[in-house]
Amino acid sequence: MTDSTAEERTHVNAEQVAEFLKNNPDFFAGRDELLMQMALPHKRGTAISLIERQLKLYRERDTELHHRFESLVNNARGNDRLFERIRQLVLALLESRDTEQAIESLKDSLDQEFNIEFHNLILFSSHPKRLPVQFESRDIAESVLGTTIAEGNAFCGRLNKQQTEFLFGSQADNIKSIAVAPLNFPDKIGLLVLGSSQEHHFRATLGTLFVSYLGDVLSRVLAQLMDIADDRQGTIKKNP
């Protein structure tokens, strides 16, 4: 019998033994002496019993499960804090008496509660109003940002230099990652953009639930307040 044939048979026999033990996990019950004779090689060259090895695996698995549990708890706490901040911001927006107050509440919250390094509110209009925001033509915005605007979806990740400069102006050189929240109600009325100096802060794999929700709420609040302001302005013109 050649060495290769012997090795092949040994390999097959080992597989058969492994399959047998897998199908008969209670095989060692009542065979304590046999179990104590079984040993596994250790990295240091010594041998450990199957029981020691099993205990070690149980400890490692227990440690891994504990770390996973801690991670889940920390994520839950983080989500609770995020929800509370969002709740406070939404309430502040809904309680705003006019567009200026809504914009001020938004900026204060992003600065103080969310610690967003860079942010900008862009509204699409060919007739800019006296508001502390950036006004742009929607056609120009779509030509610069492409599908980011055309598809109307929230976005997290990186944009090219021209796009970043369009969104953040002179602050563009400091921004390494971006989140874009389209304002899509009642139509595409603008964008809320958030920026970070950290490359992976707003990474492409990050969920967009938060920015999408914020964009949905903000667009509805601004649309209502701006309509009210336009109605008041029209009334003033009719009744000088």
Looking at per-residue pLDDT, the higher value among 6 and 203 belongs to 203
pLDDT of residue 150 exceeding 60: yes
Mean pLDDT of 125-149: 88
Residue 214, judged by CB atoms within 10 A of its CB (0-12, 13-18, 19+), counts as buried
Q: What's the one-letter identity of residue 142? A: E
Q: Is residue 67 part of a domain?
A: no
Confirm whether 38 is domain-assigned: no
CATH of the domain at 158: 3.30.450.40
Q: Examine residue 130 and state whether it is found in any structural domain, yes or no.
A: yes
Query: Does any domain span residue 17?
Result: no
Got the DSSP string for the chain?
Answer: --HHHHHHHHHHHHHHHHHHHHH-TTTTTT-HHHHHH-EEE-TTS-EEEHHHHHHHHHHHHHHHHHHHHHHHHHHHHHHHHHHHHHHHHHHHHHT-SSHHHHHHHHHHIIIIIS--SEEEEEEE-SS--SSSSEEE-HHHHHHHHTHHHHT---EEE---HHHHHHHHGGGGGG--EEEEEEE-SSS--EEEEEEESSTTTT-TTS--HHHHHHHHHHHHHHHHHHHHHHHHHHHHHH--
pLDDT exceeds cutoff 70 at 7: no
Q: At what angle do helices 209-238 and 50-94 cross, to 10 degrees?
A: 0
Nearest to 119 by CA among 216, 218, 195: 195
Q: Tell me, yes or no, whether 184 lies in a domain.
A: yes
What percent of the chain stands above pLDDT 70?
80
pTM confidence score: 0.71
pLDDT at res. 76: 87
Domain extent for 233: 117-238
Q: Is the residue at 21 inside a domain?
A: no
Count of domains for the chain: 1
The answer to whether residue 201 sits within a structural domain is: yes
Q: Is residue 178 part of a domain?
A: yes
pLDDT in tens, 151-193: 788 999 999 999 999 999 999 999 999 999 999 999 899 999 9
- Tell whether the model's pLDDT for residue 79 goes beyond 50: yes
